[in-house]
Chains A and B, each alone.
Chain A
Amino acid sequence: MRKRTQLVGFEFGHWKHVQYAAEFMDNAIDAIESFQWEQLKNESKTKFTIDKDFDVIKFGAKLNEDLILEINGESYKTSEAELKTETSPKKIMLTEEKPTEKRDKKKKEKLVKNLIHDMEKLLLPFEHIVDNEPIIIIKLTESEAPSVLTDELGKKNIMRYTFEIFDNGTGMNRSDLRKFGIYLASSKSVKLKQTRGSQGFGAPSAFSDSQNTTGEPIIAVSKTQFDVYATASQFFTTSKNEKKYVIPHTEIETSFLHGTYIKLNYLNIKYIARYVDEYIKKTALMNPHVTIKYIDPNNESFNYSRRVNKFPPEPKYALPHPSSVNIGDFQDYITKSEHKTISSFLQDSFVRMSSKIAKTITNKAEQQLEEKLNLLVVDKFYINRAPKLTSPIHLMRYEPRVWGKSTKKRDQLITYKIENMDLKKTYWDLIEQFNQECKEIKGIQKKIKSTKNEFEKEKITKKRENIIRKSINNLNNEIDRKEKQKVEIKKKLEDKFENIKDGITELKSSEVRTKNLELIKKVLISKTKPAEITSDQFNELFLAFKSMKYLSPPTDTAIPISSTILKNILIDEYNLNVSTNLEDIDESKIDLQSITENETQREINEMMPKDFVAAETRSPTSGKGLAFVVEAALAYKEGLESPKLPRDILLRYVNRTSKLRDSADCAIMKAAQSVKWKENYRLDVYDNGLPKGPLRLIINVSGPFVHLMFKSQSKNALAEDEILMTEIKLTLQKIGLQIKSYLNRREKIRRGMDREKKILKFIPIFVNSLYNIAKNEDKYKNKLKKVELENLLRSAIGEKPEKVLLPEVPKVEKPPIIPSKIISEIPKPAIKTPQISPKPQPAKIITPSIKTKVPTSIGKIPTTIPKKTSTPKKLITKPLISKPKTSQPIAMAKKLGTPPKITPIKKPIKKTVQTSLPVITTEKIFSILNEEWQSIKHLIFRLGISDMMDARLLQVKLKQLERENKVLANIQSGKKYWKLKK
């Protein structure tokens, strides 16, 4: 078993808080998930009904009130002070002075009461829904550390923290709880499953740390749905890996049907914000199927409601894949195996292992062992491979002989020595061939190795690579051929030496027999039990095991969060305003008539494309024998604050747990840095290669990981695997394309807006001038209005003008002059004074031909002189009068694909469907209750309840009655007793 004594990174520091939170929260989520999957399998009624939306804020209000429960008339405050006094030396002295059993019992009762009290206080707001909703509550309280603890540490600012966590997952029954803290009964230790996995240290280490720093015990309360009472205990874990109980396992009554509650104390430097709450926030982001509530030492409450209506699907168990197994693990598996043959062991322990492959492996291993131990296994007998010509040749086979006192003939191994020279000769011929083949094989193997070395030497072109690969293939083929030859030789041996009776002498000594028996045993790996494997056998087996080629592992072991859920998460988280149909952006128009100066900003916002979200999930692949699936999402919103550190733009998740540390080492970060954001996708880039801007990038890698995929024990960074990096890069590139088109669209619209702004500026001036001229015309007198003109111009902004095909412009030539007759006579010029008419008229040109028109009318803007042939009709078609569009932008739904929110019903009292009449009515309860104090077990018995759900209902009803003051309740040693009220 994997040993859990890795005490990693337990220094005082801010991260310690996070480590505690991380470890237990991971387990809590795992517990909840396993519970729900189990219920869904069996279609039980106790599953979480999460069809409706849940708003934890409504419940959060209650917790802020300073509720002090009244139990039996006495008020109890938090048990911190009490517990503290327990450990202070003085008080212990006092208690030791009068050690009476009664006192002990009372003390224990008090402790139990306090325990219950704290737990119930935590659960109070969620009492009614703790069966329906998956909830995790974490509370961290700060208090002064007693000086006995801090004096020696010499550090300032050390405070004592109480860490409480509750989850309503599967819970543990009594026996499991016993093991809790010794090793974590996680689902991973048996088989590989996609679960969160520990943060590198595990619960026992947390317990050790808590004890080491504070010397205080740990409280654990847990209940499965099949128990009536929960089991509570307070204990120390000891170095002997045992538990020492302060409160032994006690049955107490709890308000939850199933779940776990853990409470412990530790010392650490002063809590500051933005470590634990960041971690919890990010985890809550990726686990939208649970509700998480966190109360920090400053009494600030962080609530993260459940956001989705479905649990993620259960990932399938997977056996490990051969490529992911290293020699240590293999050893582990094989020594613990209970199989009878290696072949069955292989098939049952690994995925993608067929019987054929298993057989091949064993055969290979056997053959290697044969060569190594110089014993050839032929079909019906065994023959040794003599090293020299002079060494004896032994032939062994099973023959029925009588042994000892028995009269029956039983198969015994008989060793013969070959004496006949002919036989020897044949033997040597064949063996020499055999040896030759072996030698050649070795030579070829060396060759292969050297070529592979060349592979890794320098940069080789692809062509060369292919050539090398081909040659390696050829060499491998040769080896196969030679192996076949060896088999042939063996066959020949078989032919020759089978059933020989002459020329051989029997060696009767028992030493020889035992020796040979052992030898055979060593060689015959196919007949060995896995648990009894020798080291030689193991080595050869492992070599053969690793040398085979396997199909990629099945990919249904890796379950991603789907793209839609990712998108919804981001939309919810950052309040994105995303349109349902991204193509609608161009069509949204607004009523331009009512625009004033102040409204231009709103106009811009409305016309701009809304915020952007994109998510991409790749299909699962595998690398290093482990399946994984990569998915990423990007949210872009104008005005989103940039994080303080550039690396916080990227949120890394592995199996839905947030990874906050070691980001520079992580494969995810490196892959994100390797994408060319600036060149290809129009995004600005930080120095470290991450995209810059009002955006957030989330990458999640899911899969049944083992320490193979992580870089270090702390499991904060993924190892750089080529396949993994390519996958991440491809995902990001796809997203990049989407955001590029989005950003382009925004640019286009912004440019359009700029253009519009400029044009809007000039409209009034233009209209003014136009108006001043036009108003003098009779036509327009008193009919023209400036405002009207302005609006018309405004509304035409943004429309695209229709394309106009201008007719060809002819080049202007000189007018040909046709001198005609002098029409009028030239009067003889009087030298003196030629009179000149007072007002010379503008030159009149008389045209003879009909073809040409002439600007005859003075004053009008001259029309052009038309051509002979009909001019091409003007292709400028006047577009229809476009009324300013008054449609409002389409109301965009915020979320994609979630049903409308319904306020949760306050008191969901379950009504179980029973075949018989409902047993649990108030009357019935009253009929059962009497003057005596009865525990719930009694009531269950008396009512004849067999179903767990009914029991639960009874419990709830009793509580309700208690609240209404119709029955009396009393708690004794953790259990509640009920009585009628008079």
Chain B
Amino acid sequence: MASKSKENYDLKATKDLLSQYLEIGQQKKEIKFPEDTIKIEDLPVKNTIIRINELVDKLVQVIYTTGRPSIKLPSRSGSNIIWDEENDLLLLGKQIVEKHFHSLTSVVDITRLMKVLEKIYELLKTNDYATKREIFYTAVKLFQDQKNSDKNIEDISTMLYTIRNSTHIIAAPRGACVGKLRIRDGTEIIDLERIGSGYWQVSTMLDEIDIIESDAEFILVIEKDAAMMRLNKHKFWEKYPSILITAQGVGNVAVRMFLKRLSKELNLPVFSLVDSDPYGHYIHSVYLRGSKRLSYESPFLATPNIKLLGVLTKDLDEYKIPQEARIPMNSNDIKRIKDMLNEKFVKKNKKWEADLNLALKLKIKAEIQAFTSHGFNFLADKYLPTKLTTGDWI
């Protein structure tokens, strides 16, 4: 359907999805918690401080009675975590790992924990933020290696039944965002519509950020910076009210967290635009599921309802990407496809599976920029709107 004039895509499918979400969101469900479980949640500063104080209080009491303090961490093993995707709950069971001070094996660990806790407390009190590396440098001799301090940071967030971000230990900001969104960052109000030709860099100090309002109807997560630039220049988000986010590669914690926040609060459909190659599919899966390493914090980083919009393998033929623009796969790609096919969440999704199998069969891949073979604006004018209207996503 090539027409030179701008066709009006009504993005019907998207809008239907949106309405669907709104409906679901209104429903209040009863949930019966299993016994002896605790919910992990994102906490504001004040609450975190209160929890820390309680913990310390208990410790001091113990020292005065028995003199043998110990710290109890909930276990993060698979048997002790449940993540309810539908209700978006993370629950920890009662399994506890106890670290004693008066035991040769854990005395170092508990001292480190205490140290990190002290530093976190400091940060919270002064409303400051720090990176993991900086925490390491506060007591190099004690920690010996950054691995230890990182682990302790995770332990503490578990201990306080919260996510790492609440402890004000943040990752470096990365990624960009633009679109129909208004946020308050601390005391400033930032309007992402009026940012100019640049973007707003996604900040990791998320508890300073409040979402004020948004006109968008969907969120688009873009893998490549270049594509984002094109879309932004094209004011795609103006035409079709949306929010554009990119992580400039694999989704990092900042972007994923922000994305999750957006999708949760705004309750908008989320789409991802990745290259038509196994790596792209992988990136999508990271947004969808979270990385394996931080699986514990997945609920706060994963957007379970993200939809893979493009570029699907079948689109290559559908949208007539010329052969020259297609690249043959190498062995790594094939291995990756096979690994992905083994994943549970792929198996659940028949469409995705079919697409991956097709890719495996054809053994070719293509980038988003391949669309420029049809013109610079093909992506923004034709490809995306068509897909959004027809609901051609996985």
Contacts and interface: CB of A to CB of B under 8 A. Distances in A.
17 contacts: A762-B111, A765-B111, A766-B111, A769-B114, A773-B118, A784-B60, A801-B100, A812-B34, A812-B37, A814-B82, A815-B37, A817-B31, A826-B23, A829-B22, A836-B266, A840-B265, A855-B38
A780 interface: yes
Contacts of B89: 815
Contacts of A809: 36, 93-95
Interface string A791-802: 011011101010
A818 interface: yes
A769 B122 CA distance: 11
B28 A774 contact: no
B51 to A, nearest CB: 5
A776 B111 contact: no
Contacts, number: 217
B110 A765 contact: no
A769 B37 contact: no
A866 interface: yes
A866 to B, nearest CB: 7
A908 B323 CA distance: 128
B15 interface: yes
A807 to B, nearest CB: 9
B23 A829 contact: yes
B121 A773 contact: yes
A833 B213 contact: yes
Contacts of B93: 809-812
Given A773-B56, A774-B56, A838-B212, A792 B63 contact: yes
Interface in A826-883: 826-827, 829, 831-836, 838-840, 842-843, 845-849, 852, 854-855, 858-862, 864-868, 878-879, 881-882
Contacts of A848: 30
Interface stretch (B40-48, B251-259, B286-294, B375-383): B40-48
B197 interface: no
A852 B33 contact: yes
B102 interface: yes
Interface residues of A, number: 77
Given A772-B118, A822-B28, A759 B55 contact: no
Shortest Cβ-Cβ A-B pairs, 6 listed: A796-B67, A812-B93, A769-B118, A826-B26, A769-B114, A859-B50
A560 B392 CA distance: 106
B93 to A, nearest CB: 4
B69 A815 contact: no
Contacts of A758: 104, 107
For this complex, into which size category does the number of interface residues on chain B fall? 35 or more
B132 interface: no
A795 B65 CA distance: 12
Interface in A758-797: 758-759, 762, 765-766, 768-770, 772-774, 776-777, 779-780, 784, 789, 792-793, 795-797
A313 interface: no
Nearest to A774: B56
A820 interface: yes
Contacts of B237: none
Contacts of A836: 211, 213-214, 265-266
A765, A797, A815, A878 — which one has the most chain B CB atoms within 10 A of its CB?
A815
| Chain A, interface SS category | loop
Interface string B64-85: 1111110000000001111010
Contact of B69 (A793, A797, A819, A834): A793
A805 to B, nearest CB: 14
Contacts of B91: 812, 815
A89 interface: no
Interface string B111-153: 1001101100110010000000000000000100000000000
A755 interface: yes
A219 to B, nearest CB: 73
A792 B59 CA distance: 12
Contact of A815 (B32, B56, B67, B265): B32
A864 B94 contact: yes
A835 B265 CA distance: 11
A864 B266 contact: no
Given A762-B111, A801-B102, A813 B56 contact: no
A72 interface: no
A873 to B, nearest CB: 15
Contacts of B214: 836
A776 B102 CA distance: 26
A815 B34 contact: yes
A550 B318 CA distance: 118
Given A822-B28, A823-B28, A826-B26, A855 B68 contact: no
A766 B15 contact: no
A868 B35 contact: yes
Interface string B346-365: 00000000000000000000
Contacts of B114: 765-766, 769-770
B56 A770 contact: yes
Given A758-B107, A772-B118, A846 B60 contact: no
A865 B94 CA distance: 10
B23, B51, B107 — which one has the most chain A CB atoms within 10 A of its CB?
B107
Given A758-B107, A826-B22, A831-B15, A815 B87 contact: yes
A882 B63 CA distance: 11
A824 interface: yes
Contacts of A897: none
A773 B42 CA distance: 22
Contact of B213 (A792, A820, A835): A835
Given A793-B63, A865-B34, 16 more contacts: A758-B104, A762-B108, A766-B110, A769-B111, A793-B101, A799-B102, A801-B102, A809-B95, A812-B82, A815-B87, A825-B26, A826-B26, A833-B215, A836-B213, A838-B212, A860-B50
B86 interface: yes
A882 B69 CA distance: 14
A672 to B, nearest CB: 39
B334 interface: no
Contacts of B208: none
B67 A793 contact: yes
A404 interface: no
A829 B18 contact: yes
Nearest to A825: B26
A862 B23 contact: no
